[in-house]
Homo-oligomer: A and B are copies of this chain.
């Protein structure tokens, strides 16, 4: 019993010290408290303290100078020629990101870099695990698709740690409001959706239902574009015409709501969807209910993905540059890595997407 108790104690101390180092609270070259002081302040035996420190020396977090004490190792040199770039995505299998990664990979591999791939499943706690993991690896920089970017992020200490360790990072697709002064490359989602809804109003549609994702910045911005286009057409924005969904209810809510709108005999001229995936499923639902697209209801999507191309009625959509966006993110990051002043020179690029008119909308 005694033994396993001590085991837990030294592992706990190790974890504590490692965390302090990873988060940059103990800085490279900084001396850590002596064994005596640690033993006393943490109420541990000197044996336990010695074991934890010797393991952290082995793992490359600390080094000991005989007669002087124990210090935090500067891992930056090892990191700085690792030729590894971390890529943190929300989903691996979702329909847009594989092509973005392909773009990232083509630029990085032709510059001799490798991708360290991490996946948050759009879960904030998993993002924390990914960031902590990456801080332990030798990466020279990071490309991050933020997790539930419309919400307040609780992972700020990890982003500060990246700055403390001078690991440059760039957000892609969206960014946290708390980090709006950091580098990012995003689509102008509001302008993209504006052009789609403006097109619908010009076709004479009056009742335009919007379906948007509530927990990422893209969803919020696309909704803003929708609302502005409605207002600019001299129509009044009605919150009841908007269907919001979250990551967790994405598989059922949008379709149940559209179905209910139809069952309630509400007037619907057109539906503007968060993306092509939603638009495709709405198409299937409408067709199954005997409602014709575009004769009865016009439909627009977003992203110009295979869902738009594979739909029996090709879906009018907004172009997402996919590979190109990944390439540009990688190029900007490589520049940041070379720039000693990257923290003072954030690169913020906004790509304006164009409307791609296909077959899913007609004049009213």
Give the oligomeric copy count. 2
- Does A109 belong to the interface (CB within 8 Å)? yes
Kindly identify which residue among B93, B280, B310, B311 contacts A98, using a CB–CB cutoff of 8 Å.
B93
B84 adjacent to A116 (CB under 8 Å): yes
Cα separation A99 to B102 with both chains bound (whole Å)? 15
Within 8 A of B (CB), among A288-321: 306-307, 310-312
B115 adjacent to A102 (CB under 8 Å): no
Within 8 A of B (CB), among A113-172: 114-119, 129, 133-134, 137
A114 adjacent to B102 (CB under 8 Å): no
Considering only CB atoms, which chain B residue lies closest to A281 in the complex? B310
- Does A101 belong to the interface (CB within 8 Å)? yes
Kindly identify which residue among B59, B114, B307 contacts A133, using a CB–CB cutoff of 8 Å.
B114
- Does A92 belong to the interface (CB within 8 Å)? yes
- Does A327 belong to the interface (CB within 8 Å)? no
Question: Per-position contact with B for A63-88: 1 when CB-CB < 8 Å, else 0?
Answer: 00000000000000000010010010
Cα separation A118 to B106 with both chains bound (whole Å)? 10
- Shortest A313–chain B CB gap in Å is 10
A117 adjacent to B105 (CB under 8 Å): yes
B92 adjacent to A102 (CB under 8 Å): yes
- Shortest A139–chain B CB gap in Å is 10
B99 adjacent to A93 (CB under 8 Å): yes
- Shortest A129–chain B CB gap in Å is 8
Cα separation A223 to B65 with both chains bound (whole Å)? 67
Considering only CB atoms, which chain B residue lies closest to A310 in the complex? B310
Kindly identify which residue among B59, B114, B119, B307 contacts A116, using a CB–CB cutoff of 8 Å.
B114
- Given known pairs A92-B98, A93-B98, A310-B280, the reply for A119 and B109 (CB within 8 Å) is yes
Kindly identify which residue among B97, B109, B310, B312 contacts A307, using a CB–CB cutoff of 8 Å.
B310
Residues of A within 8 A of B (CB): 59, 81, 84, 87, 91-94, 97-99, 101-102, 105, 109, 112, 114-119, 129, 133-134, 137, 280, 306-307, 310-312
| 15 cross-chain CB contacts under 8 A | A84-B137, A91-B102, A92-B105, A93-B98, A93-B101, A93-B102, A101-B117, A102-B119, A109-B118, A109-B129, A109-B133, A114-B134, A115-B118, A117-B117, A310-B311
